Structure formats: C-alpha cells, structure tokens
C-alpha cells in the first residue's frame, strides 16, 4: 500500500510541536521555533528581535519576493537537461525560456535574464517590457524572444513586434492562426518563425487533437499549409514547432504520451523543412505548491529526449534543440505572503476560525477560483502545540477561506495565537498577476508592502522595501478626490 497521503499536504499535520531543525521542503525549515526560508528567519520582519540584522519591523501583511529561488530553479533545470543530453548522447541543445505571464514584475524578469533564460511573451505590453530590458543591456542579442499570443495583422501587438525586430534579431513570432503570417511576410524584414499546433489537453493522436475544443494554435491541415507558406516566403524562416499540452502536469507517462503526437508531426515536418530546428513543448512543467509534491525531472527529460530520438530516427532526420517555456516552475517558489492572526473565533464551528489581516481570495485567486492548494505554515510558535483550524480572510466574503472549498487537507496552526504570524508559500506564479498589482481590491483592502530579498556573492542578504498602498491611494484609485 502506498504511504502517499490522499490529500495535498499544505502544512504541519500534527498536534505536537514541530521538532527543531525539521525541514519541510528544500527551502523551509524550523529553528528555535521560527520558520526559516533558506537561511532567513521570516518572523524577524515583524518581531523586535532582528536576529539577522534586518533593523526595521515591517507592517503586516507582507509579500516576500525571494530572488535566489528563481536562479536555483533555472540552474536546476539546465543541469537536468545537460545531464540527460550527455547520458543519451543527444545531439541537440536545450533552451530554457521564462514564460513571463507567470509573473512580469521587473525584479523577476531581471533575475531570469540574469540567470541566462530566454524570454517568452504574449501581449503588446510585454513588447515594451522587452524593449526596456534590451535598453538596459539585460536582454542581450544572444537571447531568443519567443512571441506567443494572438497577433492578428491589425493588432497593436503585431505592429509592436515589427518595431522590436529592428532592435533585436533573435525574435520568433509563434503563429497561432494562418491570418497572422501576412504581416510578417509583407514587412520584408527577416524573421525566424514558430508555428503553434493546436494541442491542449490529453490527446494521443493528431485526429483527437484536431477535434479538441481549444482556441490556440493550428490544426494539422493548417499546420502543413502554414509551414509551406512560411517556407516559400523570401524573408521568413521556419524555425520552431510549438506544442504545449497543459499546466502543472505531474504524471510523467501522461505528459509524455500527450507530447508524442506532436513529436511525430515535428519529425514529419522536419523531413520536408530542414530549417525547422526547435521543438518547443511550451509550459506544463510542474513545481511543488504543496509539501507532498514528487516529480522526477530527470526521468521526464530522459523520456522526452528518448521519444524525440526515436521519432527522428524513424523519419531519418536530426534531433531538434528542445525548448520549454517555464512559467510556474520558474516563479512559484520565490513568492510568499505573510499575515498576522488578528483574532481566533470559535463561533460554534467544528474548527476554530483563525482570522488573518488580509484577504486569501484576492491575494491567491486560484485558491477560491480553482480550489488550488498552497503551503501554509506559522512563522513563530512552531515549538508549541498545534490544533486543526480554518483560516478566514478579513473581507466580508464567505469564500475568503482556506483550505479552499472543497478540500480534504487539514490545516494545523499553533494553539498559541498571540502575536502569531503565518505564511502562504509557493504563490509566486500567476497569483499576483491575476489579483492585480496596485488596483482596488475586494472590500477595499490596501495592497501589502513588498520585501524583495536577494543574496550577495558572500551570502549576505540584500533587502529592498516597496511601499504598499495607503488608504488614500485606494480612495484616489476609486475616483474619490482626497
């Protein structure tokens, strides 16, 4: 019998204190009753103890942006590919690409580029971000910019891409629809081009995929037409085949079997169009959002490259370079959101309500919209007894609760709730972008302060504080003259 829990593990699941030095995952461990993120005591930001030289006490709630974890994720994946490429004598290269839709904050893009990632985008403002990063010398000429998203010939996005191409040669528009080709063709500018196959979901044949209800990409017939059209154009070069099958795909056999029809079609296209040199499997790479996560990245990459080798051998074509567009994988773990428990209320409920000084649903929209689970742990009092509880946000919304509805995951927090702080972890991908930055939020709650943390070469932490919204900011935003 498997000892794998039958629910996502979101925190400590016992009534006893957490043992000193307990390691929850790669980056969270306990020391002297406090939770540490790598070497950093998180409770110090609120309590007057400052064990690591952070001299201010910060207001709660507080968003933590911990940049070293982004670099580690990129290095880890590059290492996995490099190991498997050597193991299999795979003759193509791997191109790590950051899918910026997961989190487009300046410090995130600066960090992914600094770690050597290529850049993926999906809309017209993304083009402005890329331009800023090129001007700052961070998005260097060697990096590919992969342009997904709808870019019809009359769109601002497409027009902006033509301008960006003047600054950056290594720009690859990925065609979603046949009508998108004409603008790039008539521009006369040389473009490497990608073609996106309609492919979302678990489908094991191209016939099934062609019938899938998806608005993305080209069906198989249109894929052949687009390839012929691009290959015949004097200024366009067919370079990339894009085939994405989903998000947070934790089952390796399913992930690989879903990719196989695309791998097969890639090899057939490659026979006819030798310039086609990159197989891009898009997003989908899973990451730990709970404590029970288990995924063998090495095994996934081994099966992916093996499948590419086998198909390419059958069609007698060279293996391609491989690209992944890593959104959630790159940025999930670097983000945490810290709150104070402001009151405990029994209210005749089976479990006591621990009320936080912020909103769960507007800070992590996926928890109420998709019943997504995230890790929740106390920052202090970990050396004291725990009890099972439920969390409530400070809004007046009955959906502002955690664990999400419906969930079988128990949530335990310390019984001692005086000056108790907690953190939501692995919330760095999509949550902030979906919840909005600096807008007006549910129940007019002002946005939290943000603490951006990085590490210098000698291991010392660097801190940058971004101010949260004041009540006046919120009022002005809603049209009140204050």
Ligand X SMILES: Cc1ncc(COP(=O)(O)O)c(C=O)c1O
Residues lying near ligand X in the complex (CB under 6 A) are found at 99, 101-102, 120, 148, 244, 247, 282-285, 325-329
- Least separation in angstroms between residue 72's CB and ligand X is 16
Nearest residue to 375 via CA among 429, 430, 336, 425: 425
Is 194:242 a contact under the CB 8 Å cutoff? yes
Pairing type for strands 375-378 and 421-425 reads: antiparallel
- Least separation in angstroms between residue 149's CB and ligand X is 8
Is 152:180 a contact under the CB 8 Å cutoff? yes
- Least separation in angstroms between residue 476's CB and ligand X is 33
- Least separation in angstroms between residue 440's CB and ligand X is 26
Half-sphere exposure of 132 (CA within 13 A, CB side): 11
Pairing type for strands 390-392 and 353-356 reads: parallel
Pairing type for strands 335-345 and 353-356 reads: antiparallel
Is 163:124 a contact under the CB 8 Å cutoff? no
- Least separation in angstroms between residue 453's CB and ligand X is 23
Closer residue to ligand X, CB minimum distance, 194 or 403 = 194
Closer residue to ligand X, CB minimum distance, 116 or 246 = 246
Closer residue to ligand X, CB minimum distance, 286 or 320 = 286
127 DSSP β-pair partners: none
Closer residue to ligand X, CB minimum distance, 102 or 341 = 102
140 DSSP β-pair partners: none
357 DSSP β-pair partners: none
Closer residue to ligand X, CB minimum distance, 175 or 285 = 285
- Nearest residue to the partner ligand X, using Cβ: 283
Instruction: For residues 437 and 63, give the distance between their C-alpha atoms in angstroms, rounded to a whole number.
Output: 12
- Least separation in angstroms between residue 302's CB and ligand X is 20
With the C-alpha atoms ordered 477, 480, 481, 482, is the resulting torsion angle positive or negative?
Answer: negative
Half-sphere exposure of 226 (CA within 13 A, CB side): 29
Closer residue to ligand X, CB minimum distance, 44 or 280 = 280
- Least separation in angstroms between residue 196's CB and ligand X is 8
- Least separation in angstroms between residue 214's CB and ligand X is 11
Closer residue to ligand X, CB minimum distance, 324 or 403 = 324
Instruction: For residues 209 and 439, give the distance between their C-alpha atoms in angstroms, rounded to a whole number.
Output: 39
Helices (H) and strands (E) in the chain — how many of each? Answer: 14, 22
Closer residue to ligand X, CB minimum distance, 34 or 328 = 328
Look-up of token digits 């809004």: 395
């Amino acid at each position: 019998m498997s000892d794998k829990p039958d629910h996502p593990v979101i925190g400590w699941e016992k009534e006893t204190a957490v043992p000193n030095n307990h390691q929850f995952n790669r980056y969270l461990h306990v020391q002297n009753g406090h939770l540490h993120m790598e070497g950093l005591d998180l409770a110090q930001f609120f309590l007057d103890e400052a064990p690591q030289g952070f001299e201010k006490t910060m207001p709660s709630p507080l968003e933590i942006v911990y940049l070293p974890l982004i670099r580690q994720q990129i290095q880890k994946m590059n290492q996995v590919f490099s190991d498997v490429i050597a193991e299999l004598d795979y003759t193509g290269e791997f191109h790590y690409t950051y899918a910026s839709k997961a989190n487009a904050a300046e410090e995130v893009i600066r960090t992914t580029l600094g770690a050597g990632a290529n850049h993926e985008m999906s809309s017209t403002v993304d083009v402005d971000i890329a331009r800023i990063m090129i001007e700052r010398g961070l998005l260097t000429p060697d990096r590919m910019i992969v342009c997904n998203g709808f870019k019809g010939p009359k769109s601002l996005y497409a027009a902006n891409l033509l301008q960006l191409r003047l600054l950056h040669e290594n720009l690859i528009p990925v065609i979603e629809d046949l009508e998108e080709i004409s603008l790039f063709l008539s521009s006369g500018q040389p473009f490497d081009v990608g073609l996106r196959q309609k492919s979302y979901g678990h489908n094991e044949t191209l016939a099934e995929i062609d019938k899938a209800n998806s608005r993305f990409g080209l069906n198989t017939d249109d894929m052949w037409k687009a390839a012929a059209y691009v290959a015949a154009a004097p200024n366009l070069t067919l370079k990339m085949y894009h085939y994405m099958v989903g998000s947070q795909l934790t089952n390796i056999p399913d992930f690989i079997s879903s990719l196989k029809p695309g791998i097969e079609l890639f090899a057939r296209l490659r026979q006819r169009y030798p310039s086609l040199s990159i197989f891009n499997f898009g997003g989908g790479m899973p990451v730990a959002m709970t404590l029970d996560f288990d995924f063998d990245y090495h095994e996934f990459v081994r099966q992916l490259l093996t499948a590419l080798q086998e198909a390419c051998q059958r069609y007698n074509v060279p293996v391609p370079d491989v690209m992944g567009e890593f959104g959630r994988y790159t940025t999930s773990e670097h983000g945490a959101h810290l709150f104070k428990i402001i009151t405990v209320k029994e209210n005749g409920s089976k479990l006591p309500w621990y009320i936080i000084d912020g909103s769960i649903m507007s800070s992590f929209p996926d928890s109420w919209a998709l019943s997504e689970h995230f890790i929740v742990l106390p920052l202090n009092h970990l050396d004291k007894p725990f009890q099972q509880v439920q969390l409530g946000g400070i809004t007046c919304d009955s959906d502002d609760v955690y664990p999400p509805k419906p969930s079988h995951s128990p949530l335990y927090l310390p019984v001692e709730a005086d000056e108790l702080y907690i953190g939501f972890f692995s919330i760095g991908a999509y949550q902030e972008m979906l919840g909005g930055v600096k807008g007006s939020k549910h129940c007019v709650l002002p946005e939290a302060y943000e603490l951006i943390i990085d590490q210098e070469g000698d291991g010392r932490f660097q801190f940058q504080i971004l101010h949260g919204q004041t009540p006046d900011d919120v009022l002005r935003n809603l049209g009140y003259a204050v």
